[in-house]
Structure 1
Amino acid sequence: MTGKCEAFGLNSRRASIRAIVALAAALLMPQMVHAQSYPNRPVRLVLSFGPGGVADVTARIVTEKLGEKLGQRFVIENMPGAGGINAARAVLSSPADGYTLALLSNGTAISVSLFKNLRFNPVTDFVPVSSMGYFDFILVTQAGSPYRTLADVIKAAQEKPGGLNVGTINVGSTQNLSAQLFKSTASVDVTIVPFRSSPDVLIALLRGDIQMAIENYTAVQSHISGKAVTAVSSSGLVRTSFLPDVPTVKEAGGGDFEARSWNAIFAPRGTPPEVIKTLNIALRDVLDTPDLKKRALELGIEARASTPEEIAQRLKDDIEKWAKVIERAGIEKQ
């Protein structure tokens, strides 16, 4: 009798184990099938930037190759404005299945501290896939002006506090906050003058209304090659490949300064890990192709993939960094 009871108990435990294994397999099966078939329809990438800008053109170049790699079309949807709130909400209100993705950037990190009610948390509401590209800013002066180097600018600013004007695009932009950061790291008092657009900044510089400007490489490239402006520094930790002879701000005596823009693909929280892995592997292959790198370089972009962990950390670091700059500058939240 005892032997029968033990056998019954053993069989019962085996049946329980088989049931658990079967349940686990059933739960995993949809994810496995999803990963194996992903993507089986077009994928939407939502941008908080308008068409024609650096972010938009970069995204189109990358997704064109990505579509070829994965055998499905990637569709760009532009939702500019509102600090990226509308674009982020559109992605977060979509199913977390990998078919609606977001392009987040350093601008997203800035928005966390710049807006009173962002209505989403980029760190907890999204999961990172990979970076797409990075780019530095260029500090330029008018050719023929007394400010031939960044050291000249710093010296003049120290001799006449508040007497030099530095032009950037609108308040709260990365260029604008980079100017605020420069004031702090270089220990200078300059007047930061915001303009509505990059062409407005360049016109003011050429007219002599401002003594230095901080802009994207693409915005100043033709003026540098045409010798209308002088590149006195770049904003990264190492010299930009576009202007290898131009020192960084730190090299030129501007203190512990670093400011870079970046673009990256994120997905809504809850997106299957297998989908994130598929996208990351494909992006690594695509961003390493010579023709794409060449096209990106023409836009002033260093095309480079990352691990999800790397771009997640960059987002967190930039949120903390720009929050301090915004607070120190006394910029009012929108």
Structure 2
Amino acid sequence: MIRQIFKNSKCCVAALALVLSTSALAQEYPGKLVKIVVPFGAGGIADLTVRVVAQKMSDSMKQPIIVENRPGAGGIVAADTVAKANPDGYTLLLISNGTAISAGLFKRLPYDTLKDFAPISTLGYFDLAMIVNKKLPIKTAADLISYAKSNPGKLNIGTINRGSTQNLAAEMFVSMAGIDALIAPYKGTPEVITAVTTGEIDVAVEILGPTLPQIKAGNLNVIGVTSTKRFAGLPNVPTVAESGLPNYQATSWNGLAAPAKTPKVIIDRLNKEINLAVADPDVKRRLLELGVVAQGGTPDSTKNLLASDIAKWGVVIEKAKIEKQ
């Protein structure tokens, strides 16, 4: 009996020590600069999005948050850096649908996309736009599908590099619509926009943000956005799903993750700060100007989103017969 009481007492002491340690950790964090590693170059939508949110978080947490751009190898360089970082909440990774795509594009990764990271929250979602050359008699996704079926093999769709979100969104459209079309990869967004404007290609699939100024100026003919809801900044532009291809959806998103084994109390604190930041009216306005709909989430919902996108884009990659690197 005495031995059992002693054993129970030791368990209680250990549990109390854990509670006190966790409580102290929660109060102390963050005690120094926090770094967010971004797998893209400076100036892009993802980079600008995380900088807007990070500044708001920094103000709230009263600690500097810096953004370190580490592009390369489809995001692998940045992700591997964070996967191997100390799980203390001071080194974070910008994750996205691109993180999910890389899981299907590469034969081997130096990390496990689902096991080596602790997703924290989404930051926002951003649409792709389906843009058509203004000389073509196409106003909706239904028109586009009809045109392609009447001209088999003649329709060409421009995107950026093969295996990108834009490229896979185009591949998925062709597959779901059951049309015969050529998907042509270009070096970058400016080249894609120029090609569809001049008529070098018939259709372009591109991130909405960089095209917004030209869309609003009337220089580009946009027949639809690729999410399940219309973009608030262009309320008169329908979704592809509602204008001709039901169930089609190809939304891009950004979020933050920490190395696996980061204490839950830190993940929860960061999640709280992210959700407060993206709910701020000024942050929402600034992101909307970039073509991003600010939206946070829970660690579980973010992990589920990442897992579902790995499965979704993996199927598209297989159907498109894109050779794994």
TM-score of Structure 1 vs Structure 2, range by shorter chain: over 0.9
Tell me the alpha carbon deviations over residues 56-112 of structure 1, each in whole angstroms, 9 at most, x when there is no partner: 011110000001111111111111011211111111221101111111100010000
Task: Give, in whole Å, the separation in 2 of the partners of 1:138 and 1:272.
Answer: 39
| 1:200 shift after superposition | 0.1
| 1:228 shift after superposition | 1.7
Task: Give, in whole Å, the separation in 2 of the partners of 1:224 and 1:76.
Answer: 30
Choose 161-170 or 144-153, whichever is displaced more.
Answer: 144-153
How many residue pairs match? The answer is: 325
Q: TM-score, normalised by structure 1?
A: 0.94
1:175 maps to which residue?
Answer: 166
| 1:27 shift after superposition | 3.7
Pick aligned residue for 1:210 from 201, 217, 221: 201
2:176 maps to which residue?
Answer: 185
Tell me the alpha carbon deviations over residues 143-166 of structure 1, each in whole angstroms, 9 at most, x when there is no partner: 243223322221110011110111
| 1:282 shift after superposition | 1.2
Which letter does structure 1 place at the counterpart of 2:73?
A
Which letter does structure 1 place at the counterpart of 2:27?
Q
Does 1:35 find its partner at 2:26?
Answer: yes
Task: Give, in whole Å, the separation in 2 of the partners of 1:301 and 1:57.
Answer: 10
| 1:251 shift after superposition | 1.1
1:222 maps to which residue?
Answer: 213
| 1:209 shift after superposition | 0.8
Task: Give, in whole Å, the separation in 1 of the partners of 2:88 and 2:319.
Answer: 40
Does 1:51 find its partner at 2:46?
Answer: no
Task: Give, in whole Å, the separation in 2 of the partners of 1:219 and 1:62.
Answer: 19
1:302 maps to which residue?
Answer: 293
Choose 68-77 or 141-150, whichever is displaced more.
Answer: 141-150
| 1:117 shift after superposition | 1.6
Q: Alignment partner of 1:333: what SS?
A: coil
Tell me the alpha carbon deviations over residues 191-239 of structure 1, each in whole angstroms, 9 at most, x when there is no partner: 1010010000011111111111111112211221222211101101121
Give me the CA root mean square deviation. Answer: 1.2
Residue correspondence of structure 1 range 152-167 to structure 2 within 5 A: 152-167=143-158
Which letter does structure 2 place at the counterpart of 1:210?
I
Task: Give, in whole Å, the separation in 2 of the partners of 1:240 and 1:325.
Answer: 24
The structure that has the greater radius of gyration is 1
Q: TM-score, normalised by structure 2?
A: 0.97
Task: Give, in whole Å, the separation in 2 of the partners of 1:40 and 1:48.
Answer: 25
1:93 maps to which residue?
Answer: 84
1:277 maps to which residue?
Answer: 268
Tell me the alpha carbon deviations over residues 90-141 of structure 1, each in whole angstroms, 9 at most, x when there is no partner: 1122110111111110001000010112221121111111000101111011
Tell me the alpha carbon deviations over residues 271-315 of structure 1, each in whole angstroms, 9 at most, x when there is no partner: 000001111111111110100000000000001100111111111
Which letter does structure 2 place at the counterpart of 1:248?
T
2:305 maps to which residue?
Answer: 314
| 1:14 shift after superposition | 2.9
Task: Give, in whole Å, the separation in 2 of the partners of 1:28 and 1:94.
Answer: 25
1:260 maps to which residue?
Answer: 251
1:63 maps to which residue?
Answer: 54
Pick aligned residue for 2:72 from 56, 65, 81: 81
Instruction: Say if 1:114 and 1:332, in contact at 8 Å, map to a contact too.
Output: yes
Which letter does structure 1 place at the counterpart of 2:282?
D
Over the matched positions of the two proteins, sequence identity in percent amounts to: 42
Task: Give, in whole Å, the separation in 2 of the partners of 1:267 and 1:241.
Answer: 31
Instruction: Say if 1:79 and 1:87, in contact at 8 Å, map to a contact too.
Output: yes
Which letter does structure 2 place at the counterpart of 1:134?
Y
Task: Give, in whole Å, the separation in 1 of the partners of 2:250 and 2:301.
Answer: 17
Q: Which runs of 5+ in 2 are unaligned?
A: none
1:287 maps to which residue?
Answer: 278
Q: Which runs of 5+ in 1 are unaligned?
A: 1-8
Which letter does structure 1 place at the counterpart of 2:95?
L
Instruction: Say if 1:142 and 1:228, in contact at 8 Å, map to a contact too.
Output: no
Which letter does structure 2 place at the counterpart of 1:153?
L
